[in-house]
């Protein structure tokens, strides 16, 4: 039998290629691992650097925040101190404001009292002048004007005393209105009317027929024995006598007017008596003359001054209230 020839032995180069390939693979793997490790190291260093930068940024931010916090705290402390100062100042201002209001109230009250005192003094002066005008000059219109001014002065008095004064003043003003133009003015008006009426009297009475020309009984009885003629007093006057009588009459009327204006009752009566005498001499007796003589008698009875009780109650109350204050 034929023997199979033995297989040829493997070539030697194949043997050492495997270790070489393994070494190459291991070298490549090592290099790759080293390269990867280097990359990782660089990445870690980059990350570490980035983290360090971030950390520094965070630390800087934290420092800034701490500084801001300290500054904020300082501002808060300053604000608290300022608030305390402002609160103290506001408290002081409130106290000063309250004190000022109290002083203003006192001043206002004092001013109000002073104003009321001035009004009372003004009213007292006006009422005093009104009484003097009425009592001494019979100036009723002047007294009314003064009382009207006194009413204005007393209008703002707030208390019950002021109300009482105003009520009394109203009553006195009504009494003044009731006086009209006043006693002296009324007397002057009536005297002027008498003067005008006297000038209209006839200077001579013309005799009429019938019973109106009948002689008195004593004259008729004595007529057969004595021729009685009227005296010159009842007869017509000459022109010169008329002028003298008229002048004397006007003088007495003027004196009567002057006496009435100054409130001289005795002087008025004396002048009116002479007016009546001159009227009897100037004009013959007649009903018209007798009527004017009666008016002259009535004029002598008229008062020349208003009643003292008309005014004075308001002034007395005002003075009493002033004394109480």
- Per-residue pLDDT tens digits for 142-154: 888 999 998 888 8
d(CA 233, CA 140) in angstroms, rounded, equals 43
Long-range contacts of 244-247 (CB under 8 A, 24+ apart): 245/278, 245/281, 245/282, 246/282
- Check if the beta carbon of residue 315 is closer than 8 Å to that of residue 124: yes
H or E, element range at 131: helix 13-137
Token pair for 42? 């660089």
Q: What does the pLDDT look like over 195-238, one tens digit per residue?
A: 999 988 887 665 543 344 455 666 666 666 555 544 444 456 78
d(CA 271, CA 184) in angstroms, rounded, equals 15
pLDDT of residue 306: 75
> How sure is the predictor about 241, in pLDDT bands with cuts at 50, 70 and 90?
confident
pLDDT of residue 302: 87
Mean pLDDT, residues 110-122: 77
Which of the 8 DSSP states describes residue 302? S
Q: What does the pLDDT look like over 60-106, one tens digit per residue?
A: 888 888 888 898 889 888 888 888 888 888 888 888 888 877 777 66
Mean model confidence pLDDT for the chain: 81
- Check if the beta carbon of residue 290 is closer than 8 Å to that of residue 270: no
Q: How do the domains of the chain map onto residue ranges?
A: 117-180+311-324, 183-200+218-301
Q: Which of 82-86, 130-134, 257-261, 303-307 has the lowest mean pLDDT?
A: 303-307
- Check if the beta carbon of residue 152 is closer than 8 Å to that of residue 174: no
Q: What percent of the chain has pLDDT over 70?
A: 81
Residue whose pair of structure tokens reads 């990867």 in the numeric block: 36
């Amino acid at each position: 039998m034929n023997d199979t020839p033995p297989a040829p032995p493997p070539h030697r180069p194949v043997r050492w290629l495997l270790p070489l390939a393994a070494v190459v693979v291991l070298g490549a793997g090592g290099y790759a691992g080293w390269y990867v490790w280097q990359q990782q190291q660089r990445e870690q260093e980059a990350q570490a650097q980035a983290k360090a930068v971030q950390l520094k940024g965070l630390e800087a931010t934290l420092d800034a925040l701490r500084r801001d916090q300290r500054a904020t705290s300082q501002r808060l402390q300053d604000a608290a101190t300022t608030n305390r100062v402002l609160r103290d100042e506001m408290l002081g201002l409130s106290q000063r404001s309250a004190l000022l209001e109290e002083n203003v109230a006192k001043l206002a009250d004092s001013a109000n009292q002073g104003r009321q005192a001035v009004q009372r003094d003004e009213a007292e002066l006006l009422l005093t002048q009104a009484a003097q005008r009425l009592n001494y000059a019979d100036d009723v219109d002047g007294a009314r004007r003064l009382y009207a001014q006194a009413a204005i002065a007393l209008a703002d008095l707030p208390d019950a005393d002021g109300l009482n004064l105003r009520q009394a003043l109203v009553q006195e003003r009504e009494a003044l209105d009731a006086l009209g133009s006043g006693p002296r003015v009324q007397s002057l008006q009536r005297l002027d009317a008498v003067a005008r009426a006297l000038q209209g009297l006839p200077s001579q009475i013309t005799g009429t027929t019938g019973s109106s020309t009948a002689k008195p009984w004593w004259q008729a009885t004595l007529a057969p024995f004595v021729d009685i003629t009227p005296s010159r007093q009842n007869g017509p006057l000459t022109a010169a006598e008329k002028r003298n009588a008229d002048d004397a009459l006007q003088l007495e009327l003027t004196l009567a007017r002057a006496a009435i204006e100054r409130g001289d009752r005795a002087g008025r009566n004396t002048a009116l008596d002479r007016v009546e005498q001159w009227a009897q001499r100037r004009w013959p007796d007649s009903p018209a003359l007798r009527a004017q003589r009666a008016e002259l008698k009535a004029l002598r009875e008229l008062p020349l001054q208003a009643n003292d009780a008309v005014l004075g109650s308001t002034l007395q109350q005002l003075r009493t209230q002033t004394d109480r204050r």
